[in-house]
Structures are given as structure tokens and as C-alpha cells.
Amino acid sequence: MRVYVILFFTLLLSLTTHAGNDDEHEVKVVGDKNYSNNAALVYDGIDVSNYQKDINWRATAEDPSIKYVYVKATEGATHKQHRYRANIENARKHGVKVGSYHFLSTTSPIQKQFENFISMAKPEEQDLIPLLDVETHSGWSAKQLQDSVMLFAQLLEDYYGCKPMIYTNVSYFNTLLGYDFRNYPLFIARYSKSEPQLNFGAKWILWQFSDKGIISGIDEKVDLSRFNRGCSLKDITYNSSKSKKRNDKQRQNVPRPKPKKEEPKPEVPYPANQNNSNSNKEKTEAQKRGEENAKKRKKMEEKKREEERKAEEKARKEEEKKRKEIEKREKEIEKKRAEQEKKRLEQEKKQREQEEKQRREEEKRKDRANAQARMKADKDKANTALNDHHEQNDDEQKRMSDLKSAQQERLANEKSKEESSKTNKKTASKSTKSSNQSSADNDEIKYNRGGKK
């Protein structure tokens, strides 16, 4: 069983290594539905706004992964973020590099939006180059959008002394901004593990890969971003000494992009030598033709705009389709990984159960061995005690036997003595009797001798 487990983990490690070689910058985000919750969290910085509410910058600054933070300052011509000042000051106070960004509106003049931004984002308070957030083009054509963004970028460059960074998503850049902005520092949003791919040879510096980051000190979800290969903090660091503040006279009012104007109706000439009736008739016909031509041009323009809109919609749908396909593939990969993880956990569980079973059996075996050892020791001890008891009994029996033998010997001696005494007495009695008889005989003899009288 252990051999199978080792082979399984070896295979899993090789698959993980291969996946890492295919996508060096694969990102796993905790809390994001597109990513596994048990994967490593890889990011370099964040961006915040009023949405994140009050932030505990002391706790946030302790995150070693956060090398920078972009703070929303303004939106449109009038909106100012009321938490901007506190975020900028507290983040810098705790050692976090900060930058400011403006959300571009399509309903306000560019000059007014620029003035709104510089009223909040002071050059001396910036550690990072300014950031222009471009996400909508409602009411503008692609050309108007490009002109507006370029104008805003030039105003920022003139004021801060550096090119601003432009934030947008992959589809927006490829279909709406395009070639003219390929050399600007780019901050690209793409909520996927696949890196952004830009047209026109453009290269991004920062990639916002998730909007569901969980950061210490911030209660709400946070946008997470990271550097491109070969890029670092120095590529977005701002030098405030290069700023070129212009006075009010130099800040000429820049009008908002003008909408496309319809071409004037062409005037159709008519012959001057004809009479008034013919002239009026021809003039009327010419006016009709002009109106028809104007209608045709209008229809052509509307058709062209519709084609542009359809092209944009098609590009958006294709991008959405690609995104869904990528999400689908990611879900499948995640599903496979989840299944592999489930199998791995089951294998680990079985291994743990088997090891626990073996451990219990080993404990039982040890307990039995210990019990047997104790029983043997007790038996040996009992045998020793029994042997000692037997030896004591044998000694006691021997002693009793010796005592009995001694007693018997004593009795025998006493008996022998008694018998000897009796014998002696009998002998003595016999001797006495014999002596007495002899005397009697002698007396009798004497008597007889004397009785012969």
C-alpha cells in the first residue's frame, strides 16, 4: 500500500512541475471561484477606493507581498473620493508605495477632469506614476475615445513630467485604444490565470488578475495585480522633481471631443440662362437630389457606425466566448484537480487508517508480549517461591527426620540402656540367687553334715 501511495505522490509532483513549466506565472487566488482555495496566493500590489471603506493600513502594510497600492482619487469632472487623503497618508506612513488614479468619464470635458485630478493628486505625495482608468466609451466613437485619452495622457505628462500608466482590459485595448497607445505603460485587467495578450506589439507592466483578493486590514474584497516578467517597482516609480506645474494662463481650456458632424448638403448648380420657372424647377429637383444624397450619406454613415458597433460587439462576444472557454477549461482543470485532491485525501485517509490499524495491532502485540512477559515473570517468581518453599519443606522434613532419627536413636539408646539395665539386674538377681542357693546348699550340706547326728 505504501508503494502505491509513493507512486501516486510522485506522479502528482511530476504533473505539477509540468504545469508550472507551461505557465510560469500561473496564479492561484484564495477566495476566487476561478481558483483553488488551497493554492498559493501570488501578487505584488493592490488598488483601493471608497468601496474598501476604512482600511487598517498598519495590518495591510505587514503583508510582505504588497509592494505598491494605487488609490482612486477622482472620477469625472467633480467627483472626489472622501477617503483618498486618509488612504494616501496612512499607506505612506506605514511604508507602502502609493500612486493615484482617475476614472475617465465620457460625459465631462477632459480639461475639467484633468483639473479635478490634479487638485487631489499632489506630485510631492506620489511614489508611483499617475494612472488613468479607461473602462467606458458610452457616447463616444472609437476616434473620439482615442483623442480624449491621448489628450488626457498628454496633460498628465505635461503636468507630472512622465507618461501616465493606462488601465483597461484586453478587449478594450485591442479594439478601441490600439496602436497609438502601444508605447504607454499599461495596466491590464484580465480575471484569469492566462496572461493578457495585447495586439500592436504592446507590452503590459501590471496585470490585474483578480478582484476577489482577501487582504489583512481590509474588510472588502480587493483587486490583486502583479508585475510582468522583467518588470519591477522601478518601472512605475515616480520622480516628483520632474513635475512641471503650469500656471492658470498656461492651462488653456481644452474642449471635450466634438461629435462627428454630418457633411453639409452639397449645393447642386443649375444653369443661369434659363427662365425662373425652369430654374425653380431645377432648383427643386436639385434640392431633392441633394436631400436624397444627404439621406444616402446619412444612411451610409449610420451603416458604417452600425458596422463599427457590430464589429465591436462581435469582438466583445468573441472575447466573452474566449473568456468563457478559458473559464470552462479552468473549471475542468479545477474539477480534475479537485478529483485528484479527493483521491489523494482518500489515499491519505486509507493510509492513515491502515497505519492506525497497524499501530493498534502493534500495540496489542506489545501488550500481549508484555502480558506474557509479566505472566512468565510471575510464574518464574511463583516457581522460585515454590522451590524455596519446597526447599524449606525439605529442610524442615530433613530436620524433622534428623530430629526423629535422633529421638529414635535416643529412645533406642534408652531402651538399650533399659534392656541392659534389666539384663544387669537379672544377671545380678541370678547371681544373688545363685549365691544364696550356694549358701543354702552349703548350709544344707553343713546341716546335713551336722544333722547326721
Are the CB atoms for 224 and 231 separated by under 8 Å? no
Query: Mean pLDDT over all residues of the chain?
Result: 79
Of 67, 65, 128, 66, the residue nearest 100 (C-alpha):
128
For residues 197 and 257, which has the higher predicted lDDT (pLDDT)? 197
User: Which value, in Å, is the radius of gyration of the alpha carbons in the chain?
Assistant: 59
pLDDT tens by residue, 88-145 = 999 999 999 999 999 999 999 999 999 999 999 999 999 999 999 999 888 888 899 9
pLDDT for res 279: 54
Q: What is the mean pLDDT of residues 189-210?
A: 94
Are the CB atoms for 31 and 51 separated by under 8 Å? no
pLDDT for res 441: 55
The C-alpha atoms of residue 175 and residue 142 are separated, in whole angstroms, by 9
The C-alpha atoms of residue 424 and residue 426 are separated, in whole angstroms, by 5
Residue whose C-alpha cell is 482600511: 55
Sequence-separated (6 or more) residues with CB below 8 Å from residue 165: 129, 130, 131, 132, 184, 185, 186, 187, 205, 206, 236
| Secondary structure letter of residue 128 according to DSSP | B
For residues 158 and 412, which has the higher predicted lDDT (pLDDT)? 158
pLDDT-derived band at 204 (thresholds 50, 70, 90) equals very high
pLDDT at residue 255 above 80?
no
Phi then psi dihedrals of residue 10, to 5 deg: -65, -45
pLDDT-derived band at 399 (thresholds 50, 70, 90) equals confident
pLDDT for res 117: 97
pLDDT at residue 330 above 90?
no
The C-alpha atoms of residue 371 and residue 363 are separated, in whole angstroms, by 12
pLDDT tens by residue, 290-323 = 667 667 777 777 777 778 778 877 887 887 788 7
Residue-range domains of the chain with CATH: 2-258 (3.20.20.80)
Buried-exposed string 67-99: b where 16+ CB fall within 10 A, e elsewhere = bbbbbbbbbbbebebebbeebbebbbeeebbbb
Cell numbers for 52, please give them. Answer: 474598501
The C-alpha atoms of residue 18 and residue 15 are separated, in whole angstroms, by 5
The C-alpha atoms of residue 151 and residue 114 are separated, in whole angstroms, by 10
pLDDT tens by residue, 238-253 = 988 776 554 444 444 4
* Global pTM value: 0.50
> What is the percent of the chain where pLDDT is above 70?
74
3-state secondary structure of 347: helix
For residues 138 and 434, which has the higher predicted lDDT (pLDDT)? 138
3-state secondary structure of 206: strand
> What is the percent of the chain where pLDDT is above 90?
41
Helices 110-118 and 142-160, packing angle to 10 deg: 30
pLDDT for res 269: 37
pLDDT-derived band at 16 (thresholds 50, 70, 90) equals very low
pLDDT at residue 5 above 60?
no
Lowest mean pLDDT among 224-228, 375-379, 386-390: 386-390
pLDDT tens by residue, 17-74 = 333 333 333 333 333 444 433 345 689 999 999 999 999 999 999 999 999 999 999 9
pLDDT at residue 80 above 90?
yes
pLDDT for res 378: 85
pLDDT for res 332: 87
pLDDT-derived band at 437 (thresholds 50, 70, 90) equals low
Residue whose C-alpha cell is 429637383: 285
